[in-house]
């Protein structure tokens, strides 16, 4: 009797920068602000949405992969 092997593909999540539309690799740093993901360099080039007010919540910078 022949046994078939089941194959489980790993989930590959591709993340794209909102500013430059270039893929952010899993090992690269990324900045999350207002629900959008950016390269840190692209985020630093973005104009402030509220005119530079300090009341806005700071962006979150993530280093490396967030996947287990």
The domain ranges of the chain are 13-46+59-68
Q: Say how far apart CA 47 and CA 32 lie, in whole Å.
A: 15
φ, ψ for residue 37, nearest 5 deg = -110, 135
Tokens 């950016």 -> residue:
38
Specify whether the CB–CB gap between 35 and 26 falls below 8 A: no
pLDDT band at 42 (very low <50, low <70, confident <90, very high): very high
The residues near 59 (Cβ < 8 Å, ≥ 6 apart) are 31, 32, 33, 43
* Average pLDDT estimate for 23-33: 93
Confidence of residue 60 (pLDDT cuts 50, 70, 90): confident
pTM for the model stands at 0.59
């Amino acid at each position: 009797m022949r046994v078939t092997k089941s194959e489980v593909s790993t989930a590959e999540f591709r993340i794209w920068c909102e500013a430059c539309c270039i893929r952010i690799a899993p090992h690269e740093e990324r900045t999350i602000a207002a629900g959008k993901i950016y390269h840190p360099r692209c985020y630093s080039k973005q104009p402030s949405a509220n005119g530079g007010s300090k009341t806005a919540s700071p962006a979150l910078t993530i280093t490396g992969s967030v996947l287990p």
